[in-house]
Structure 1
């Protein structure tokens, strides 16, 4: 069985490094993604990566997840609790005004297939 905690950590490392090619290899094409309290839902890896590239390039270039405070594994699911931090380059409702630093507590629920590919990602926070 795949170490899903390690798979989740590798995905977050790629996210923090803006290594979207690596993320593409780690995520299923038909990813089930939602960021619940931000009303953001996607069912396509490519669409999500497009948004993440824009966010990292134009909106919050320094955005990253800090080391997790807690990681819980249940079967093929990883629950990762960590702070998401950055400085908004533009006004981003729910994050901050242009030039403002933010620090938001996120709870990420990630489900992996038997090969360690991310098939579902739900963020809360």
Structure 2
């Protein structure tokens, strides 16, 4: 894939995430996608398992979104995005936030993309 094609997939994912378009997000990920949120103990393999978690999280943090995209770089089959993830907890999230608290995480998201699909997704931060 070209750099432009890699960036198009990564940007589409972020836009779908921000608009809560789970149906389109699913089409951007391979069936056996591996998702890891380092430093938070989350590791999932398989699109259905990943999206089961996303649907459950929407009830607790419905306004979650990425913002402040400061840098995005594509090379080989990888896209790196430096940005901020933000949300407001609607319920207590032990070890993370109390109900009503704002959450901000500075992240580096690394997407490995093959044949137009995200096959590996890592968040560091």
TM-score by shorter chain over 0.5: yes
Please give the root-mean-square deviation of Cα atoms over the aligned residues, in Å: 1.2
* 3-state SS of 1:90 partner: coil
TM-score (norm. length: structure 2): 0.93
Q: Quote the residue 1:17 is aligned against.
A: 19
- How far does residue 94 in structure 1 lie from its aligned partner after superposition? 4.7
Q: Deviations over 1:26-46 (max 9, x none)?
A: 100100111110111011111
- How far does residue 21 in structure 1 lie from its aligned partner after superposition? 0.6
Number of residues paired by the alignment?
A: 123
Q: Quote the residue 2:84 is aligned against.
A: 83
Matches of 2:98 and 2:47, distance apart in 1: 28
* 3-state SS of 2:79 partner: strand
Q: Quote the residue 1:121 is aligned against.
A: 121
State the 4+ residue runs in structure 1 displaced beyond 3 angstroms: none
- How far does residue 68 in structure 1 lie from its aligned partner after superposition? 1.1
- How far does residue 77 in structure 1 lie from its aligned partner after superposition? 0.1
| 8 Å Cα contact 1:88/1:95 also seen in 2 | no
Gaps of 5+ in 1: none
- How far does residue 95 in structure 1 lie from its aligned partner after superposition? 3.4
Name whichever structure is richer in strand by fraction: 2
